[in-house]
Amino acid sequence: MENKLSAGRLKILLALSLFAFVILVGRMAWLQLYKGLYYGAQADGNRMRSVLLMAPRGKIYDCNGVVLADNIPAFVLTIMPGHKLSDDEVRRLAPILGMTEEDIRAKVAKAKETYEPVPLKTELSMKEVTILEENARDLPGVSLDSQAIRRYVYPGLASHVLGYVGEISEEQMTRGRYKGLPQGSIVGKDGLEWVYDGDLRGVNGRKTEEVDVRGRVVQQLAGQPPRTGRNLVLTIDYRLQKTLEDAMDHHLAELGVQAAAAVAMDPNTGAVKALASRPDFDSNWFVGGISAKNWNRINNNPHHPLNNKVIDGEYPAGSTFKVITGSAGLETHKVGPEELIFDSGRHWLIDMRNAGGEALGWLNFQRAFAMSDNVYFYEVGRRVGIDTLDEYARKYGLGKKTGITLPGEASGVIASPAVKQKLLKEEWYLGDTFNTAIGQGLTLVTPIQLAQMLSAVAAGGTIHPPYLVDKILNNDGATVSVPERPKARSLDISDDTITRIQNGLKGVTQPGGTAAWFSGLPQAIAGKTGTAENPHGRDHSWFIAYAPADRPTLVLVCIVEQGGFGSTASAPIIYEVLNNYLLGYPNLKPKAEGDGKPAARGK
């Protein structure tokens, strides 16, 4: 009996042993067959590294081939997120890179792909590179790579045109035009860098490296080189841009004010030749991530340096609006060009006066325009009415965006009874029409809108909407495409009326006009002063002009915030620019290559 029990126990033991053996073999087979690829991939991940190769961005040229934005080689530090950084490694990296330990951990945590190197810092200094190389044995997984980074050759120049670039954000990677781009991609953030990012960015490449356990490269394996982005050729003329910005900075410093905007364009084509807004910024500040110091300089400035006041600044037009009031009066024959209207110092219906309180007596259209007589234009406004003023403002392109290819353009406002009711919940009165006729009240315009308006007069009654990009080139210099330009359109205003407006503008800069001292320029010009009332301080100063007076090739518009009368603040800036332009920029030569050093511009 005992032998039978022993035999039974032996069979059970053998069965259990066999079962355990089968389970063990099955587990080993499963590990070998099904998990082999997984563990193999992890093992390869320890010795194989895939490195993203950022494509150099295309260059940006002015209209004469002067390089405004290019690229320079720089060292970039990346780290494998698959490598578990020890607390000691993080502590070592933080002071070398000038980053907090939390910043380093956050960068690694944001990696989208387990085996994608995470860029920790771009544009490393040689001191940082040296220290990293000296500590390489203690920092496995850290890699120093060379990468082309953006450089703006003339720091601060045309910053509101060019914009700036930066590292793609986590939000941008999930939607819109940047969806699907890898972390670390450099993309346009503002200006033309943003608008034409798809052309400028190029196509990233990738390389695979074999590395040892300490992260050192053993050999380079197969890879795909990056493809450089396309190049932009702008309508901007470096010489005019530099001249304009220098004139603005010089005169703003003399006036003790900080905010201004100016734009120059060819009235015959709409090509924007210069565009500047103050205060400005240096686009180089954003390359590799803006420092806290520079961000505070921008963010704490009450005049908002990142705002492009040429396209998003909305101001009362002041007496520059008399171009529209005059066009409406002459074209509808509500006022004759030689008809005399008496200025007694105030309008006969409402006690509204000239800005200086003067009484100029009997005036015809040209004399009233040259002297910017308010009482005369009150009467023109009364005769044509607010609806006609609204109609002619729209003919000239006010009240809607010009369509210039920059982000953030404002539409402006055209005063009307409906607008007043909507904004103020008040009725419209004759005094509102008077204010509108001289560019005060509810009407708001942007500098680019006034440039388009004046260009239409200079071009004989044809509006050429503004544009900034002439063509797009590949890296061989061949034209890839020419961006579609807005179509020109007629003002639908008679040649006779346009000629009389032109003559009025010429009279402003001749003896007896409000800007008579412009007669000292090498050639005669046409222009108009303007003062925009400002309820928050000193009035804003406008000056608009085109040159030469008889065959215009350039329109200039400038506003100085809180500058006072147009003839004393904006006009000197325009005078300096036109003097250099008409003389052919005698003292200005662009650098062959910029030094690329960011300039601290405290405006």
Q: Give the span between the Cα atoms of 438 and 433, in whole angstroms.
A: 9
For 6, other C-beta atoms within 10 Å of its C-beta total 10
Tell me the three state secondary structure of residue 352.
coil
Q: Give the span between the Cα atoms of 446 and 250, in whole angstroms.
A: 23
Structure-block tokens of residue 225: 């080189």
| CA angle (349 as vertex; 346, 355 as ends), nearest 5 | 25
- Cβ-contact 363, 345 below 8 angstroms: no
- Cβ-contact 443, 317 below 8 angstroms: yes
User: In 352-398, where do the E strands start and end?
Assistant: 361-363
pLDDT for 599 equals 33
- Cβ-contact 555, 454 below 8 angstroms: yes
* DSSP for residue 498: H
User: In 248-290, where do the E strands start and end?
Assistant: 260-265, 272-278
Name the residue among 296, 153, 157, 148 with its Cα closest to residue 225. 148
223 burial level (CB within 10 Å; 0-12, 13-18, 19+): middle
- Cβ-contact 187, 275 below 8 angstroms: no
pLDDT for 592 equals 45
Strands 231-234 and 60-61 come out as: parallel
Q: Kindly report, residue by residue over 233-255, the tens digit of the pLDDT.
A: 999 999 999 999 999 999 999 99
- Is the dihedral angle over the CA atoms 579, 465, 485, 181 positive or is it negative? positive
pLDDT for 594 equals 42
pLDDT for 375 equals 98
pLDDT for 598 equals 32
- Please provide the size of the chain in residues: 603
pLDDT for 270 equals 98
* Phi, psi values for residue 367, rounded to 5°: -65, -40
Domains defined for the chain, CATH in brackets: 55-78+89-234 (3.90.1310.10), 238-583 (3.40.710.10)
Peptide bond into 279 cis (omega under 30): yes
pLDDT for 7 equals 58
pLDDT for 593 equals 44
* DSSP for residue 404: -
Tell me the three state secondary structure of residue 169.
coil
- Mean pLDDT for each 10-residue chunk of the chain (603 residues)? 54 59 57 49 57 89 97 84 73 87 77 62 84 82 82 97 92 82 87 97 85 70 89 98 97 96 98 98 91 91 97 98 99 98 95 90 97 97 98 98 98 98 97 98 98 99 98 94 94 98 97 92 96 91 97 98 87 97 84 40 36
